[in-house]
Amino acid sequence: MTSAEAHVKKFRKELHSGIAAMVLLALLERTGDEMYGYQIAKEIGAKAGGASFLKQGAIYPVLRSLHAAGLLSSRVEVSMSGPPRRYYAISTLGREALETWRVVWADLRGFVDALVEPGGSRG
């Protein structure tokens, strides 16, 4: 791996970890229903059109972190076809956090686009 490739890999990891929580909250808000990890992974994969933004194995630590922070509620249900499934739903606190994160994301995206895009702001 070249130095440039290593920097890209590190940048992607840092960027993805910051965005993953917001994406998971937004997905659970939009579905309006409980979902278990594999369902969430499939839905993200479908929305990404095959792009590997958030791999299935990376989803579970983020779900646990959001749950521990009170942004998600969860319950475990016995599954007839395998191990028990933990279903997640966005909590009231999660909805409040998501609204704030959307504002921050919009501001940040506009700022970054203005500086990074060719011909962007020079001011």
Smallest CA-to-CA distance from 72 within 96, 54, 56, 53 is with 96
Are 26 and 78 in contact, with CB atoms under 8 Å apart? no
pLDDT 10s digits, 87-98: 999 999 999 999
Average pLDDT over residues 102-112: 91
* Predicted local distance difference test score (pLDDT) of residue 46: 86
Tracing tokens 């921050």 back to the chain, one arrives at 104
Does the reported pTM lie above 0.85? no
More confident residue, 56 or 66: 66
Residue 79 per-residue DSSP state: -
User: Partners of 73 in the beta sheet?
Assistant: 89
Token digits of residue 95: 């909805």
* Predicted local distance difference test score (pLDDT) of residue 104: 92
Q: Which domains does the chain have, with CATH numbers?
A: 3-116 (1.10.10.10)
The rounded distance, in Å, linking the Cα atoms of 104 and 40 is 24
Tracing tokens 């590190």 back to the chain, one arrives at 10
More confident residue, 60 or 53: 60
Overall size of the chain counted in residues? 123
Token digits of residue 8: 């890209």
The rounded distance, in Å, linking the Cα atoms of 52 and 13 is 12
pLDDT 10s digits, 43-59: 988 887 765 667 778 89
Q: Which helix (H) or strand (E) holds 72?
A: strand 72-77
pLDDT 10s digits, 21-33: 999 999 999 999 9
* Predicted local distance difference test score (pLDDT) of residue 7: 85
pLDDT 10s digits, 73-88: 999 999 898 899 999 9
Average pLDDT over residues 92-116: 93
Q: Is the model's pLDDT at 40 over the cut of 60?
A: yes
